Amino acid sequence: MCDIRRGNRVAPATGAGCFATLALALTLVASAASERHPATQEKPTMSLQLTSPAFAEGKPIPRKYTCEGSDVSPPLRWSGAPSNTKSFALIADDPDAPDPRAPKMVWVHWVIFNIPASASELPENVAKTPTLPDGARQGTNDFRRVGYGGPCPPPGEPHRYFFKLYALDTVLDLKPGATKPELLKAMEGHILAQAQLMGTYQRR
């Protein structure tokens, strides 16, 4: 039971009337508290974004960047990396091998790491060498070669190719020629942010 004040008279109230009175009182208290202590809004954080001037998300990768063309790496650009990033790593792979209708494996096309934190792009046609002039290192792809190996699917359905960029809080102690599993293990506990760009390619 609770009391309801009506003018100078206090009347007892029970049941729904009592609960309604308590709800109103609690609402008024909460409103007053919020005015005294307004909620602070968190500042939006920038998210890592990966793009390419050569192809858009979900669109075909130009033949130039495949085994049917020049087989050079496409240009990639990124923005929104965390301020405490110490290096970047990138993996490009195809989860649709050998047939998108019955995939059996993920085919690795590119492994590159220790890209300097000051970098915001990879130019077209990155040299296929274990170590690059800026200190970045390249791993071994599933063609058993160091550096980039372009899309080269069997004729048929289009395959998807994922370029995955990682912002890391460290420079990795990993030798050139490392494989994708070795890179993933070395990155454990060091990934600050991740971005992805997917392109397709169909070989006729």
Q: What is the mean pLDDT of residues 36-49?
A: 51
The pLDDT score that the predictor gives to residue 23 is 44
Question: Any residues with CB less than 8 A from the CB of 58 and at least 6 apart, and which?
Answer: 198, 199, 200
**What is the pTM assigned to this prediction?**
0.78
- List the single range of 13-22, 86-95, 139-148 with lowest mean pLDDT: 13-22
The whole-angstrom separation of Cα 154 and Cα 22 is 71
At 167-184, the pLDDT tens digits run 999 999 999 999 999 999
Report in angstroms the alpha-carbon separations of 26 from 21, 32, 115, 200. Answer: 9, 10, 56, 57
Task: Report angle CA 16, 19, 24 to the nearest 5 degrees.
Answer: 125
Quote the tokens at residue 45: 């954080």
Enumerate domains of the chain plus CATH numbers: 2-36 (no CATH), 49-201 (3.90.280.10)
Of the chain, the percentage scoring pLDDT greater than 90 comes to 77
Quote the tokens at residue 194: 């991740």
CA-closest candidate to residue 122, choices 59, 194, 74:
74
Q: Residue 44: which pLDDT band, with cuts at 50, 70 and 90?
A: very low
The pLDDT score that the predictor gives to residue 204 is 82
At 118-130, the pLDDT tens digits run 999 999 999 999 9
At 77-112, the pLDDT tens digits run 999 999 999 999 999 999 999 999 999 999 999 999
- Give yes or no for a contact between 140 and 177, defined as CB atoms under 8 angstroms apart: yes
For residue 155, whether the previous peptide bond is cis, meaning omega lies within 30 degrees of 0, is no
